[in-house]
């Protein structure tokens, strides 16, 4: 009986997980309308935590608006961009209750977005750097299915 419940629980969790694929390898990802999943925030690897509701990600639009998630709360902001530079305005978010570790990482994510001043797209990776040239965010372009 316990084994059956465990199998049922694992199947349920697997069914709830989003499926991702990498974009076509011969194409460089576009800055706009790409689901950019965070890989690192100020050098700390971003993994999926117990209790987390969604990936940590952003989507940038040519209208200079951004939407995303810190893993619990939805976020949005406006931004300015010119050749190689990017600056986010005030980042607003919903205020859902989440585990303290998730909220802490979400705050670090928003803080890193605020520090971002330049960016580089290398294939399917988007890297953002602060004023001193330190990498503050690294993203991977994913196709969400």
Query: In the chain, what are the domains?
Result: 21-144 (2.40.128.270)
Q: Specify the pairing of strand 56-60 against strand 65-70.
A: antiparallel
Over residues 51-96, the pLDDT tens digits come to 998 999 999 999 999 999 999 999 999 999 999 999 999 999 999 9
DSSP 8-state secondary structure symbol assigned to residue 131: T
Over residues 64-73, the pLDDT tens digits come to 999 999 999 9
54 to 25, 47, 132, 133: CA distances (angstroms): 25, 11, 31, 29
Burial code (b: 16+ CB inside 10 Å, e: under 16) for 107-135 equals ebbbebbbbbbbbebeebebbbbbeeeee
């Amino acid at each position: 009986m316990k084994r059956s419940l465990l199998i049922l629980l694992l199947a349920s969790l697997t069914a709830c997980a989003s499926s991702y694929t990498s974009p076509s390898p011969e194409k460089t990802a576009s800055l706009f309308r790409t689901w950019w999943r965070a890989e690192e925030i100020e050098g700390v690897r971003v993994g999926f935590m117990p209790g987390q509701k969604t990936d940590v990600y952003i989507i940038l639009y040519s209208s200079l608006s951004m939407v995303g998630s810190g893993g619990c709360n939805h976020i949005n902001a406006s931004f300015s961009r010119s050749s190689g530079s990017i600056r986010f305005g005030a980042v607003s978010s919903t205020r859902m209750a989440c585990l303290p570790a998730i909220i802490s990482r979400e705050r670090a994510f928003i803080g890193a977005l605020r520090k971002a001043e330049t960016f580089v797209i290398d294939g399917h990776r988007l890297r953002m750097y602060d004023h001193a040239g330190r990498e503050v965010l690294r993203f991977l372009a994913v196709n969400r299915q």
